[in-house]
Amino acid sequence: MGVKAKLSVYRAKRDFTRTAEPSGEGEVAGGNRRRFVIQKHAATRLHYDFRLELDGVFKSWAVTRGPSLDPHDKRLAVAVEDHPLDYGDFEGAIPKGEYGGGTVLLWDRGYWEPEGEARPEEALAAGDLKFVLDGERLHGSWVLVRMKHDRFGGRRTNWLLIKHRDGYAREGDGGAILAEDRSVASGRSMEEIAAGKGPAPRPFMRAGRGSRG
């Protein structure tokens, strides 16, 4: 399936004459490392959008309580539609009444690599994707596991995002990382972004091959 077909659901849900979100028409060059972004999103309910670059798009999940560094915290991650790669540079306010209306803050970004012998596409299809993050806030080994009761049903599948035990794990204090709540791209707070104040985010997806921007 081509990128255009993968983004059909994303585009159908949005009116790009009203929202500043990228349409996905622009080209984003591939790099020598796969990228990831996490966007704090104050929509109807506050959540964190977790996105992994794979096959020309961002595979995306809405993590309802945000990531945790505690391996005991299994955070619900609801799979959503594929997003365009230039979405990784988006920070701003989606108008009320539009799909996902609310404020979007770039909470983390960096690079990821799959773990294990299976290709990431195969691991994702099997519902067990192990990977390593090298971000500005999140690091180390993680796994996304599709919940068994949802393996064969539903368009929106439920997964669990779990931190593996390693030097970056923080048992009993996994959610403290969420207190770091300013944008890694602009330094702004959610309130400043909602008000349209402060500097624009530094580009990452369009910053050049291998660059953090």
- Over the range 111-146, which residues count as b (16 or more CB within 10 Å of their CB) and which as e? bbebbeeeebeebbeeeebbbbbebebbbbbbbbeb
**Residues designated catalytic:** 197
Alpha-carbon span 85 to 112, nearest angstrom? 14
Q: Is 80 exceeded by the pLDDT of residue 11?
A: yes
* Position 26 confidence tier, pLDDT thresholds 50, 70, 90: confident
Q: Say which residue the tokens 């990431």 belong to.
A: 120
Residue 86 has pLDDT above 80, yes or no: yes
- For residue 9, the tally of other CB atoms under 10 A from its CB is 13
Which distant-in-sequence residues (6+ apart) come within 8 Å of 56 by Cβ?
Answer: 3, 6, 30, 85
Answer yes or no: is pLDDT of 213 > 60: no
The sign of the torsion formed by the CA atoms of 71, 76, 82, 85 equals: negative
- Torsion (CA) 106, 111, 115, 117 in degrees, nearest 10: 130
Q: Give tens-digit pLDDT for 145-190.
A: 999 865 555 555 899 999 999 999 999 999 999 999 999 999 999 9
pLDDT given for residue 48 in this prediction: 98
- pLDDT, tens only, 55-77: 999 999 999 999 999 999 999 99
Window from 8-17, 20-29, 68-77 with minimum mean pLDDT: 20-29
